[in-house]
Amino acid sequence: MNMYEIIFYFFAFITVASASVVVFSRNIIYAAFSLLFTFFGVAGIYVLLNADFLAITQLLIYVGGILVLLLFGVMLTTNTVNIDIKSGSMNVLAAASVVAALAGLLGGVFWTSDWFVSKQMGELPAQTTSKEIGTALITTHVLPFEIASVILLVAIVGAAMMARREGIKSQIPSSK
């Protein structure tokens, strides 16, 4: 077992262990916090795969943003400890078709992609994907790049609309 594999199993262990805490914990605060380690472990695996841009995105967006959003969501709820996690099966047909479509999409990407496989992943020359992504984003993929900003604009406007719907004053006393 070389250094690369040790580091890989380290991050894989962090990811799987904290993900199982997320699933099995009965306290949603613990679940939300251990999601932090799940995201972090996935970021580490991205780094091992030489996908440094994905790793940075994972850290900035998921650890820095989505997790904060989730924690706020937890803080907005009333019951945080000892909740019964009931999950029944409903809408089986619709769910199955959506899952099948998603699986088909992912499988299609998986089979048609030109995978870059190396025997010695650890000995790969350290190369940054951010540079190539940046070049592609500004030169060949300018339109999607600008569309992304428009989509973000739409999201901002939508969030502002939701924020200012003050017609119904919430019964919750606002805690300063």
Length of the chain: 176
Residues 6+ apart with CB under 8 A from 3: 122
- Residue 66 lies near other proteins (rule: CB under 8 A): yes
When asked if residue 134 is in the footprint of other proteins (CB under 8 A), the reply is: yes
Choose, by CB under 8 A, the member of 16, 96, 101, 155 that binds other proteins.
155
Which residues, 6 or more positions from 168, have their beta carbon under 8 angstroms from its beta carbon?
none
- Cβ atoms of 26 and 81 closer than 8 Å: yes
Of 13, 65, 100, 107, which one interacts with other proteins (CB under 8 A)? 65
**Cβ pair 57, 148 in contact under 8 A:** no
**Alpha-carbon gap, residue 2 to 9, rounded angstroms:** 11
Q: Is 156 in the site for other proteins (CB under 8 A)?
A: yes
Least Å from the CB of residue 156 to other proteins: 3
Asked if residues 21 and 31 have their Cβ atoms less than 8 Å apart, the reply is yes
Nearest-approach distance from CB 89 to other proteins, in angstroms: 30
> In the range 71-90, which residues lie near other proteins by CB under 8 A?
72-73, 75-78, 80
Which one, of 99, 121, 15, lies nearest residue 58 by Cα?
15
- In the complex, minimum distance from the CB of residue 57 to other proteins, in angstroms, rounded to a whole number: 5
How many angstroms from the chain centroid is the CA of residue 22? 14
Q: Does 30 bind other proteins (CB under 8 A)?
A: no
Binding site for other proteins (CB under 8 A): 4, 7, 47-48, 50, 53, 56-57, 60-61, 64-66, 68-69, 72-73, 75-78, 80, 122, 124, 126, 128, 130-131, 133-135, 137-139, 142, 145-146, 148-150, 152-153, 155-157, 159-164, 170, 172, 174-175
